Chain A
């Protein structure tokens, strides 16, 4: 009855939908980031309080530490294998220097952080790749840390949750980094054969050798909206085939459409989704 709706006066603030919340006021001179999707400038504090997303739904990249504090229960994460680092197995020209620069810039010593954590109360092995460390490329140390994580999880009968971000294998380590694909896959397989649960969350960007190994081997594969996930790089495909790529090629939605991911996991409810899936596979009790 539209006429009655029009005449209706709310009796208190709650009926109106609650008291209006004043928008967070950015400090003057606070740095802003422009959202590549809606082109609005957003103060950094707003991005941070919003799990690194824009109001339009765009997901900004997160560093590994930010992700860990976002997904793991407070204070539950304990890092492991942080002493495993890459040395220069091939003696590749300029690689040692590059490693030093990247280590200083990113404040991490390798492109993945592993450890035990609890998510929504379920204990698990968590590994999170670091986009600020050579774009999460997989060298011998990354492979070793992930392999050890799976071996540890198999021994302790823990589920594994993995966040992947990677440009692929690290070419400065040549064949040794290629072999990491087989090595990690072997460890994933053993973990899987032991009847344990492995969940991957594909984030922007997951490509190359990581897509072709442990990123795609999860029992359940979630993808963050808008993430680029593929094997060959889009530019390389365009150059070799000389065809224009379809819109949204290699995005998470494309993956979902073609049946290579189970669901999208927007950050808004990502933690509850991951906790629920972990409970379903390892909790036993009802949610």
Chain B
């Protein structure tokens, strides 16, 4: 049995989708990649650097899944280790210093799950990103381009504006994981996907995202140029905003607010 939501999950995971690199190539000019978290290593699942958005220098951070099996192995299937989040944080702090806006592209099934990741403090790395992004004195925009898996995705999505592609998903747990915990049966993932409300439409209804990016013209160059214009316009309004940080705090403060 399959459900509408689970079909979207499959699309979000499919290997034919644009990955982080494609978005960087499609939208920005003169991208220069920066490596390493300056503490332990360089994480291959997270790409970051400086680039021009039209004539404006910006910091771009993307989680990269890879297009084929070999690339995917090398990129750890887009599951960042703590180093990846620390690299992202380093670049964001740098962006704050040089007053560059930050644009993140998120596509991960979740933070990397392994012995080394735990030894180097996966939980702390994400927690630090959440804290620091909340008070980053520069505009932050996140675009979820494929899978938005739990804390691993949130660690790059504490932003002033969050967008999702039409067939992207954003969820607290994978439908398989949810089904196996709740019903002890991971084959009921399709049902779980329906319950979790993880599609872009649901996220918009819940107010978790600001807008949906249509995928209807994904094969044409207008797709990227449209997204580029949207980002540029947003940055312009966000830069002029004097209450940026208060608004960002209240954006997240609103979820589950009862006062």
A contacts, CB < 8 Å to B:
84, 89-90, 92-93, 139-141, 143-144, 147-148, 169, 171, 173-183, 185-190, 192-193, 208-209, 211-217, 230-232, 236-237, 240-241, 243, 245-246, 249-250, 258-260
Contact = CB atoms under 8 A, between A and B. Distances in A.
Contacts of A174: 171-172, 196-198, 206
A14 B79 CA distance: 64
B195 A237 contact: no
Interface residues of chain A: helix, strand, loop or mixed (majority): helix
B170 to A, nearest CB: 6
Interface of B: 111, 113-115, 117-124, 126-128, 130-132, 134-135, 150-151, 154-155, 158, 170-173, 178, 181-182, 195-198, 202-203, 206, 208, 249, 252-253, 255-259
A212 B123 contact: yes
Contacts of B172: 169, 171, 173-175, 177-178, 209
A186 B252 contact: yes
A173 B135 CA distance: 26
A213 B257 CA distance: 18
A93 B171 CA distance: 16
26 contacts: A147-B253, A169-B151, A169-B172, A169-B173, A175-B172, A175-B202, A175-B208, A176-B208, A176-B255, A176-B256, A181-B151, A181-B154, A182-B154, A185-B131, A209-B150, A212-B122, A213-B127, A216-B124, A216-B128, A230-B118, A231-B126, A237-B118, A240-B114, A249-B115, A258-B119, A258-B120
A179 B208 contact: yes
A230 B255 contact: no
Contacts of A236: 113
B134 A144 contact: no
A175 B124 CA distance: 21
Given A177-B172, A216-B124, A93 B206 contact: no
B109 to A, nearest CB: 11
Contact of B171 (A175, A180, A192): A175
Contacts of A180: 255-256
Given A211-B123, A231-B117, A260-B121, A183 B253 contact: yes
Contact of B253 (A93, A175, A186, A216): A186
Nearest to B182: A171
Nearest to A245: B115
B196 to A, nearest CB: 5
A189 B178 CA distance: 31
Nearest to A257: B119
Q: Which of B131, B132, B202, B208 has the most CB of A within 10 A?
A: B131
